[in-house]
Chains A and B, each alone.
Chain A
Amino acid sequence: MTFDAAWAHSLLNPDAELPADLRVWNHSDPAIRFAVYRNNVVASLIQALADSFPVINALVGDEFFNAMTAIYVRQHPPRSPVLAYYGADFADFLQDFPPAASVPYLADIGRLEYAVIQAFHAADMPSLTTQQVQGLLINTEKLAQLQLSLHPSLQTLQSSFAIGSLWFAHQGAGNIADVQPEIPEALWILRFQLAVEVLPMSAGDCQFLQALLKGQPLGAAAESVIEAEFDLIRCLNVLLQKELITHFHYL
């Protein structure tokens, strides 16, 4: 094993042998000193996940969270030094983590928390001016062919569980005891004026937005919605009010 492979293996596996060639001046057990590094690596990454997934942490409690993330950290160490984006596949890990099976909505909460992070750090992009938006209404015949570019923070998330309500309950909005977790919910996640917002929308609204995000023009995107619950006016209102339309183009 190369030097760095041996270190990485020992750092991430507490049962592994120490890397070769360590020296301690007083010949005390190098394992004690090496433990400082083991602790730094694992504890700092657990902390990064705790900062990124505070609702997961609150839902399962510190003890469970720390033990669970210690496993995740060792199985999925970061692939980039930019820790803001660490945990992209944490939700998938939660999905397949048997001890957490009793909290079936945990993985989707993880997806929501990661979407919030992505929205928080998404690129800045100016929206259309009021004049530009008013100009769109002049050509009503062409509205169906209007292709919109949307703010990079904008995402949708649909779940079989009440993940929005559960998440709001952890932001001081609503009481968690009143939440029925088994009710499906659909959300839009976006950033508006420096703040991330999570908006309860319908499944049809999410289908519509997904079609827009894939580049479909307004008419085709609206017609592609097969979910019964869909409010076109509400969708357009959010896009305009939250300044999410950044460019337009007629197909």
Chain B
Amino acid sequence: MKNTLSASTLALAFGAAMTLSAAVSHAEDGAMAKEKCYGVAMKGKNDCKAGAGTSCAGSSKKDYEGSAWKFVPAGTCEKTASTTSPTGFGQLAEFKAKTK
């Protein structure tokens, strides 16, 4: 299906969009405000400190090759109402069986 647009259709759309955006900006961004992203961490990721400790992340030998991997996703993903793909243990058990 292909849209064919006349110049007047385009002009009407553009005009309508302009009217809408002018109205909304007067209304302090009403309808779309709830979708605003507040989730960006205002953090700098570069610094010159050392991590406390000597042994946690740097020397852990955990790997998912072979049987050493022992973690399952266990966060908010467990709360999703998944219908077709069971989260958590079902698929993971299968994966473990394959890699052993």
Q: Give me the interface of A with B, judged by CB distance under 8 Å.
A: 11, 14-15, 32-33, 35-44, 46-48, 51-52, 54-55, 57-68, 70-71, 81-84, 86, 97-104, 106, 116-117, 120, 133-134, 136-137, 140-141, 143-144, 166-173, 176-182, 195-200, 218-219, 222-223, 225-226, 228, 230, 232-237, 239-241
Contact = CB atoms under 8 A, between A and B. Distances in A.
Given A136-B14, A144-B10, A234-B17, 14 more contacts: A40-B58, A43-B51, A70-B60, A71-B62, A84-B46, A99-B69, A144-B7, A168-B35, A177-B80, A195-B37, A219-B7, A230-B3, A236-B14, A237-B20
Interface of B: 1-5, 7-8, 10-11, 13-18, 20-21, 24-25, 29, 32, 34-41, 43, 45-46, 50-51, 53-64, 69, 71-77, 79-92, 95, 99
B63 to A, nearest CB: 7
6 closest A-B pairs by CB: A38-B58, A236-B17, A39-B58, A61-B75, A241-B21, A83-B45
A143 B10 contact: yes
Contacts, number: 235
Nearest to B4: A223
Contact of B85 (A66, A86, A98, A102): A102
B71 A67 contact: yes
Nearest to A178: B81
What is the predominant secondary structure among interface residues of chain A facing chain B?
Answer: helix
A58 B45 CA distance: 19
A180 B81 contact: yes
